[in-house]
Amino acid sequence: VMIVYRRRREDMTALDTEIESAVMEGIELLTLDAPKRIETDESGNCSALVVQPQMIGPYRGGRPSPVDVDKPELRIPCQVVLIAVGQDIVSKPFEEFGMAADRGVFRAGLDTAVENLPGVYVGGDCATGPSTAIRAIAAGKVAAHNIDEYLGYHHKIDFQVEVPVPRENNRVPTGRANISERPPYIRRNDFEHVENSFTHEEAMQECDRCLRCDHFGCGVLKGGMDE
């Protein structure tokens, strides 16, 4: 298996641990080579991927852009080509509507309100750039509260769930239990999960590290235009 990438390894947006895991599984990284076309045989099946060598050029959008270098194309024989494309935020239609954005990321305050557009709220990657799911969930809670307040309501949502009373923070500090992975020489031969599951002991320790953000230090999470 080979990964063909038109930039350098240090330019990859994947986590370092993900790249290292791929290399440990025997995957070859072919960097600074831009895919140009896929060749097929007489039956129409994939036979090769043709790439053009690259060099790092001027910065564009905060990242160095690859440009073609004066070298011959490289033909890589293969039977299967999987195309991995990135994700982007389509902000242009919203910018034309009047929403201010910086490089595709909308400008919004901690209350998720969009500048100069009363009643419009944004959250998640379109407001912060690529981030965590829990941060997007928090933004959704903030937006929901403030939209409710903006519309003149003060709804209280009843989930019909008994939430435990927060206890004093007198727990013994513990480090984070990280999920382990199956050895590369084993997982490279199957399609099973890469990560191992938490043991019961590890899961209980992680649950005990909960900071009860729903109760302590909520601040803007409580919503309300004046809070």
Query: Tell me, what's the pLDDT at 158?
Result: 75
Query: Tell me, what's the pLDDT at 210?
Result: 78
Query: Tell me, what's the pLDDT at 120?
Result: 93
Listed in sequence order, the residues at least 6 apart from 29 whose beta carbon sits closer than 8 Å to its beta carbon are: 2, 3, 5, 9, 19, 22, 23
Give me the residues of the chain with pLDDT under 70, please. 169-170, 213-227
Query: Tell me, what's the pLDDT at 69?
Result: 95
pLDDT tens-digit series, residues 26-35? 999 999 999 9
Query: Tell me, what's the pLDDT at 48?
Result: 97
From residue 160, how far is each of 31, 49, 155, 163 by CA, in Å? 54, 57, 15, 9
Instruction: Report the distance separating Cα 112 and Cα 102, nearest Å.
Output: 15
Q: Which architecture, in CATH terms, is 2-77?
A: 3-Layer(bba) Sandwich (3.50)
Query: Tell me, what's the pLDDT at 192?
Result: 92
Compute how many other C-beta atoms are within 10 angstroms of the C-beta atom of residue 218: 15
Instruction: Report the distance separating Cα 29 and Cα 68, nearest Å.
Output: 19
Segments of the chain assigned to CATH 3.50.50.60: 2-77
pLDDT tens-digit series, residues 33-68? 999 999 999 999 999 999 999 999 998 877 889 999
pTM over 0.75: no
Query: Tell me, what's the pLDDT at 24?
Result: 92
Would you say the C-alpha torsion 173, 175, 179, 181 has a positive or negative sign?
negative
